[in-house]
A and B are shown apart, each in its own frame.
Chain A
Amino acid sequence: MVQEPILTARGLVKRYGRVTALDNADFDLYPGEILAVIGDNGAGKSSMIKAISGAVTPDDGEIRLEGQLIQFRSPIEARKAGIETVYQNLALSPALSIADNIFLGRELRKPGIMGKWFRKLDRTAMERFARDKLSELGLMTIQNINQAVETLSGGQRQGVAVARAAAFGSKVIILDEPTAALGVKESRRVLELILDVRRRGIPIVLISHNMPHVFEVADRIHVHRLGRRLCVINPKDYSMSDAVAFMTGAKAPAEPVAA
């Protein structure tokens, strides 16, 4: 690929006491791609993702978004810069409605005096926007956008969380184990949703333990091992067992780092 990467990390280091979770880790995400990040438990992939999404501050190394050096002190800052993360626990408020959840933390107020002085929320606009975004992603036939999120199924909740991430003109979406808690049918729906988001041109970082899912949707696979990037492979050139062999150390990759 000759494109410039949209998001890069160089030489990330993160230590927790005597444990080095990230040991000079590098990372590259190109526009419009789905990059899967795989690695054994404790390989440091979640530390790397947390560094990129602002949840932890790395001890050393630099992160660039569209060439600009960035330093996040919180996930909210990362989100403002355009990096949206869908956490494994989804970060939804179960008792609030779908629309409320999509706008949580960035509500729209009514124009004019009602919004400025009485800080009244523009519910109609928020509901319309939420419904549009959900149907745009072909997500669901919404009957009631004011339904509480806790009344939705696991896949529907995942859908709401992904729609929220994709709705606000984000540059990068990070999905942490989006299919881990789902059944076969719902996983399929979420994978379609991921591909749908890519079709809209938003690059995705997909963290998953599920090899069939990774090999199905990913354009490139970043293999993380012992706190650093071991290699980046093209899922068309390697089999699932190769990937598992790389990430567990049973086999060394042929070329060092292809990116």
Chain B
Amino acid sequence: MTEPQAANPHHEYEKVLSGSSTQVASFDTHERSVLQKCQHFLHSSPAAVPLIVLIMSIAIFGMLLGTKFFSAFTLTLILQQVAIVGIVGAAQTLVILTAGIDLSVGAIMVLSSVVMGQFTFRYGLPPTVAILCGFAVGAFCGWINGQLVARMKLPPFIVTLGMWQIVLASNFLYSANETIRSQDIAQQAPILQFFGSNIRIGGAVFTYGVIVMVLLVALLWYVLNRTAWGRHVYAVGDDPEAAELAGVNVKRMLVSVYTLSGLICALAGWALIGRIGSVSPTAGQFANIESITAVVIGGISLFGGRGSILGMIFGALIVGVFSLGLRLIGTDPQWTYLLIGVLIIAAVAIDQWIRKVSG
């Protein structure tokens, strides 16, 4: 074997290359315009846009409403109102990062809360056991979603659309449309209302539901960014075939994501009992749409593989700030929906623009 003379051009048409620039494969350092720099920054920190929007909206409502809005009580009230959406949104974030969607999150949440309540009151199980059963039901529903998506290769939209109906119907059939009253729970099984308890610091009120939401998002942020499993969630959402070839077990990954999503929904179900006091099979009807809204406004791409779970929580808070702020101003609540609609479309438009950075 002869030593190769790599750097020399070998072919007639390549002769001209010897006079050309040799800097082929170095990173570009050419001057970028302010707009491009901005695009690059947003590309590398996907939660920045929703954070800026959140701070701006708090500032604007604070200016309009003064201390009525800008008080510890009001601001923590917003946190309490978004706690459930935030927890369900965490589950939704995981699924959407794998380029899926979970329409059944709200239904799984309600079914889990009904199981927790009914197992305690109908069968007389200790409340802690009933809560564990609720978690098991949530995880099982998620596991079925995962199996259908990963093994049967069915589109997540269809699978979870079906599961939404199935789980919701099971919930009504099983509970016989019966609500367990708040007083009964408080008397016999106060642990079901655990997440409704709160800590007061001055005017600020933090329910345990708010605290668990913050802890959950912090934990998932760590898992998504600092563990191999988390990196694999992004890789699978980005390009499942590439991930498979690179050595990621894509099927097992998808099943684990959907199962974890179901488990988190069960946690949301428990927190829901704390929030509304009672166990109601008709509660949380809009949790699936609200969670998708939070994820989209939070700058997480519906095409998978891009975004930060912190964005989701900012997205949920933006919706919370708008709802409460506009209510305090005294406008028609329809204005809230209109503005949220605008935000959703703007968020997706920004996502598309940021993606062009690779071009």
A residues near B, CB below 8 A?
Answer: 32-33, 75-76, 79, 85, 87, 89-96, 100-101, 104-107, 109, 118-121, 123, 139-144, 147-148, 150-151, 153, 155-156, 159, 184-186, 188-189, 191-192, 195-196, 198, 212, 216-217, 219
Measured between beta carbons, the chain A residues less than 8 angstroms from B11 are: 212, 216
Q: Which of B55-63, B70-78, B229-237, B275-283 contacts A (4 or more CB under 8 A)?
A: B229-237
A140 to B247, CA, bound (A): 25
Measured between beta carbons, the chain A residues less than 8 angstroms from B229 are: 119
* Residue of A with least CB distance to B245: A91
Q: State whether the Cβ of B342 lies closer than 8 Å to any Cβ in chain A.
A: no
A-contact 0/1 string along B207-250, CB 8 Å cutoff: 00000000000000010001111011011001101110111100
A16 to B229, CA, bound (A): 36
B241 and A89: CB pair below 8 A?
A: yes
Pick from B10, B17, B43, B231: contact of A104, CB under 8 Å: B231
Q: List 8 A-B contacts (CB under 8 A).
A: A79-B247, A85-B245, A94-B305, A101-B246, A104-B247, A119-B227, A191-B6, A217-B4
Q: Which of B18-26, B104-112, B261-269 contacts A (4 or more CB under 8 A)?
A: B18-26
A195 to B43, CA, bound (A): 35
12 additional A-B residue pairs with CB within 8 Å, beyond A95-B238, A141-B26 = A93-B235, A93-B305, A104-B232, A104-B248, A105-B247, A121-B231, A143-B27, A155-B24, A156-B25, A195-B6, A196-B6, A216-B10
B25 and A93: CB pair below 8 A?
A: no
Measured between beta carbons, the chain B residues less than 8 angstroms from A148 are: 43-44, 358
A153 to B247, CA, bound (A): 24
* Residue of A with least CB distance to B307: A95
A217 to B2, CA, bound (A): 10
A90 and B242: CB pair below 8 A?
A: yes
Least distance between B90 CB and chain A CB atoms (Å): 19
| Interface pairs A-B: 7 shortest CB-CB | A105-B247, A150-B358, A91-B245, A107-B228, A192-B6, A104-B246, A91-B242
A186 and B227: CB pair below 8 A?
A: no
Measured between beta carbons, the chain A residues less than 8 angstroms from B305 are: 93-95
Q: State whether the Cβ of B7 lies closer than 8 Å to any Cβ in chain A.
A: yes
Measured between beta carbons, the chain B residues less than 8 angstroms from A184 are: 13-14, 17
* Residue of A with least CB distance to B235: A93
- Of listed B20, B24, B227, B357, residue having the most chain A CB within 10 A: B24
B residues near A, CB below 8 A?
Answer: 1, 4, 6-7, 9-11, 13-14, 17, 20, 24-27, 29, 43-44, 222, 226-229, 231-232, 234-235, 238-239, 241-243, 245-248, 305-306, 357-358
B26 and A93: CB pair below 8 A?
A: no
- Of listed B27, B227, B305, residue having the most chain A CB within 10 A: B27
* Residue of B with least CB distance to A74: B244
Measured between beta carbons, the chain A residues less than 8 angstroms from B27 are: 140-144, 147
Least distance between A218 CB and chain B CB atoms (Å): 10
Least distance between A80 CB and chain B CB atoms (Å): 9
A189 and B24: CB pair below 8 A?
A: yes
B25 and A153: CB pair below 8 A?
A: yes
A192 and B7: CB pair below 8 A?
A: yes
Pick from A106, A143, A155, A191: contact of B247, CB under 8 Å: A106
A87 to B244, CA, bound (A): 12
A96 and B235: CB pair below 8 A?
A: yes
* Residue of B with least CB distance to A86: B245
B238 and A93: CB pair below 8 A?
A: yes
A94 to B7, CA, bound (A): 29
Pick from A32, A92, A140, A147: contact of B242, CB under 8 Å: A92
Pick from A93, A123, A140: contact of B246, CB under 8 Å: A93
Pick from B6, B228, B234: contact of A95, CB under 8 Å: B234
A90 to B239, CA, bound (A): 11
* Residue of B with least CB distance to A149: B358
A100 and B231: CB pair below 8 A?
A: yes
Measured between beta carbons, the chain B residues less than 8 angstroms from A188 are: 9, 14, 17, 24
A118 to B306, CA, bound (A): 24
A75 and B245: CB pair below 8 A?
A: yes
